[in-house]
Amino acid sequence: TRPKHFWIHLDLHILGRIMKFILIVMVFVVSIYGVVCTSPPICPPCNPSECPSVGPCPCGTYKGQCNCCDFCAGCPGQPCNYLGSQECQGNRLCEVPAGSSSWDIWYGRATGICPL
């Protein structure tokens, strides 16, 4: 039989390899997530006839992320879609209320507001 310290050394060696593998996987996942989150949208060829119709927009319109379809801009003080990159009147971006965490925003617990 082998001495007890041999098995302890072997267990630590295996544990070290497992931790290195987990670290490599985590770095890979985080790097892929970062690329996806910062990449521009994949836009099909622009065909304005396929755009949804917008009704009366009291605070104007803006072009969507693909610079093809028009969307209604939010009016000052109105709720807006922060994650959907909704714009507000005057080409201003939707703002998240102060004190909202990134988790609140991601899970839709924080609603954006168009700046006044």
Closest listed residue to residue 87, CA positions, set 109, 107, 108, 112: 112
Q: Do 101 and 65 belong to one domain?
A: yes
Q: Do 32 and 66 belong to one domain?
A: no
Q: Do 28 and 73 belong to one domain?
A: no
Tell me the CA distances in angstroms from 97 to 37, 68, 87, one per residue in order.
Answer: 22, 29, 16
What's the structural domain count of the chain?
2
Q: Do 75 and 105 belong to one domain?
A: yes
pTM score, whole prediction: 0.56
> Alpha carbon 26 to chain centroid distance?
18
Q: Do 72 and 103 belong to one domain?
A: yes
DSSP state of 95: B
- Domain of residue 15, residue span: 1-39
pLDDT band at 4 (very low <50, low <70, confident <90, very high): low
Q: Do 27 and 68 belong to one domain?
A: no
- Tell whether 21 is covered by a domain: yes
Give 112: exposed, middle or buried? Use CB within 10 Å, 0-12, 13-18, 19+.
Answer: buried
Lowest pLDDT segment from 38-42, 47-51, 63-67:
38-42
The beta strands (E) that lie in the chain are given as 61-63, 70-72, 79-80, 87-88, 92-93, 112-113
What does the pLDDT read at residue 46? 93
Q: Tens of pLDDT along 60-95?
A: 999 988 889 999 999 999 988 877 778 999 989 888
